[in-house]
Structure 1
Amino acid sequence: MPDQLPGVQPVPAGLTADDPREIGGYRLHARLGAGGMGVVYLAYTPGGRPIALKAVRAEFAEDPEFRERFAREVASARRIHGLFTAQVVDFGVDERTPWLATAYVPGPSLHEVVRRHGPLPVRTALLLVAGIAEALQVIHAAGVVHRDLKPANVLIAGDGPRVIDFGIAHAADSSALTGTGLRIGTAAFMAPEQALGHRVTPATDVFALGALVAYVAGGTPPFGPGPESTALYRVVHEHPDLSRIPAELRDLVAWCLAKQPQGRPTTAELIAYVHGHPAVGSRPEFTDGWLPRPVREEVGGPAPAPGPGEPGPASHAPTAMAATATAPAAPRPGGPAPRRGAPGGAVTAVTGGGAGRGVEGGEAFEEAGVG
């Protein structure tokens, strides 16, 4: 999407002549973004709530293997109902143009926030770790590995972060699609085992979270800018450059960026570490002061109102779902000492209702990295 002035919400682009006007019974209102896998549109539910509807590109829709994998990933995504994740609203995996609809939030992505406002304070970065780690717990408990956790895939709302696009990129990770040039993941935030084509695990996403925090707190990816091939080489063979991030975060980031998956913390250990960090204090919560003032003033604007004749779909009710929230583990004494063993499971508690104000924005399917 085009650059915006600081403090100004991204403005959805109008539909082009090539865009459909309706998908799955939902009337499309505007374009929110586009990338290698598809286009994201702003649409509305029958009751007027905004949604982000992601339509798969024709070249992927024509691939039977992609369709099968996309259906499996959507089925997994439907089981994910964390408070810091995108809520699936509806889907159409068998239609001519496969699509997935999630709730919408007008807040910017972390990539946009850092680009416009610079590195974020230590306390903000630590709270982001806790919120994103909780999102990853819910994602991993559903049997999904995100594979492309990066600043563009974390949206900022007034009450915390929202992780988007979990597991959907996995649908394109097949031999039938490798010849298209699509790389699953973003080099600057990719774990060594993923860069080498080895098996990915929840620890792969923890590595990406460490790289994300380094970017958020230091303003640049920990393995430096440059071509994708250079970043991949550094990820596999070199140590990260943590000189730009505050000293209070270096141990935590280095722990997440361990080359071997078994050396990284679990998501529960990350949450416990944040709760015990002196920069967070006695209230590790997403209260009014968790964001710097310029960012807080930018976050949380309302979605654009539908234009005349575009109140939402004439039919097609959204899928009803329960919601779950992850309970953090008890604080772990001693800080981030190296750990051996695969990450453990999540503890979940069922809560009532769906997502409150919406959790999806317009950067879905974007394949570009930062730096």
Structure 2
Amino acid sequence: MEDKQVMHAMSLDDAYHVERVLARGAGGVTEIVSIGGTGPFVRKKIPLQLARRNVWSTLGECSGSRLPHVEATYELPDCFVVVVDYVEGDPLEDVVSRRGRFALHDAIALMGQIGEAVGELHAHGIVHRDLSPKNIIIAADGAHIIDLGIARMRAEHTGGHDTTILGTWGFAPAEQYGFAQTDDRSDIYSMGRLLGYALTGCYPTDSEYERLLDDDTVVDAHTRAVIARACALEPSARQQTVGQFVDELSGKTPIPESEDGTDSRMARDAAADTRETTGGST
């Protein structure tokens, strides 16, 4: 970086007033900030070796109301900085903890809103890779997606595998643990887990999750089949697009039958394989 660029970036950085620190860790620092009497905003300081500048540049081209709006990006000598708008609301995790599990019609509406945001990311080639209850904010106008800290651009080539283990345990598919390359279907897996979480009120790692998911009084057979397909171990067995997932959930399109004539409820067994492959409960 040229000296003038560095000085300008440092001057801009100093102009922000830190209201409070939200998180601090290996992935950087996340803060609530304001500047010149405007705000609040969320400022993320990302270590240079972890910064995916192309993701944030592309996110700036997205216009969806359920995605973070990029206010500014700049680079300091030791980190890449992103400033996005602050969304007033509660994390899905807090909402479920406070009010309990979602009714089916509310869960369908929730997934439609999440799908709207994820679909726009995918249309711009971005894979979020960390769709979890902490990264879904429930605001007055519905669900918003936040924290694209580990998002990446979709790989142009097929094959290969992710070399860094990232994501939230229980919501991340096997490919995020180095078994394959992540793509749009990785987010679909996470959406299936989010749906299960909303309906059961339990994390997929909780001992009660599977029992509640199998309980017809909690999750009906159709919805269970949609979740099973989304959470299949093999990405090719999942819904291939967010739109397909949302349409199957709402009943707009039927769940396709597998080659042997059985419906995708058989994918339930494949979802269970993920626990064995990744060495834990998901």
What does 1:3-152 align with in structure 2 at a 5 Å threshold? Answer: 23=13, 25-46=15-36, 48-56=38-46, 60-61=47-48, 63=49, 66-67=50-51, 70-152=52-134
Answer whether contact 2:70 2:85 (CA < 8 A) is retained. yes
User: Which of 321, 326, 336 is residue 255 of structure 2 equivalent to?
Assistant: 336
* Equivalent residue letter for 1:260: E
Match of 2:245 in 1: 270
**What CA distance in whole angstroms lies between the structure 1 residues aligned with 2:114 and 2:187?**
10
Deviating above 6 A after TM superposition, structure 1's stretches of 4 or more consecutive aligned residues are none
SS in 2 for 1:93: strand
* Equivalent residue letter for 1:214: G
What does 1:1-371 align with in structure 2 at a 5 Å threshold? Answer: 23=13, 25-46=15-36, 48-56=38-46, 60-61=47-48, 63=49, 66-67=50-51, 70-166=52-148, 168-170=149-151, 183-224=165-206, 242-243=213-214, 245-247=218-220, 249-265=223-239, 266-274=241-249, 276-277=250-251, 331-332=252-253, 335-338=254-257
User: Normalization by structure 2: what TM-score?
Assistant: 0.73
Note the aligned Cα RMSD (angstroms): 3.0
Please state how far the C-alpha of 1:24 moved relative to its aligned partner: 5.5
**What CA distance in whole angstroms lies between the structure 1 residues aligned with 2:211 and 2:74?**
41
More strand by percentage: 2
Change in CA separation of 1:89 and 1:95 when aligned onto 2, cut-off 3 Å: farther
* Equivalent residue letter for 1:271: V
SS in 1 for 2:187: helix
SS in 2 for 1:33: strand
* Equivalent residue letter for 2:38: G
Match of 1:345 in 2: none
**What CA distance in whole angstroms lies between the structure 2 residues aligned with 1:240 and 1:205?**
24
SS in 2 for 1:112: helix
* Higher relative contact order (CA closer than 8 Å, sequence separation 6+): 1
**What CA distance in whole angstroms lies between the structure 1 residues aligned with 2:24 and 2:40?**
18
Answer whether contact 1:223 1:241 (CA < 8 A) is retained. no
**What CA distance in whole angstroms lies between the structure 1 residues aligned with 2:211 and 2:73?**
40
Change in CA separation of 1:53 and 1:132 when aligned onto 2, cut-off 3 Å: same
Q: Which runs of 5+ in 1 are unaligned?
A: 1-19, 172-177, 227-238, 278-330, 341-370
Aligned length: 236
SS in 1 for 2:126: coil
Answer whether contact 1:84 1:135 (CA < 8 A) is retained. yes
More helix by percentage: 2
User: Normalization by structure 1: what TM-score?
Assistant: 0.57
* Equivalent residue letter for 1:128: L
Answer whether contact 2:130 2:151 (CA < 8 A) is retained. no
Please state how far the C-alpha of 1:83 moved relative to its aligned partner: 2.0
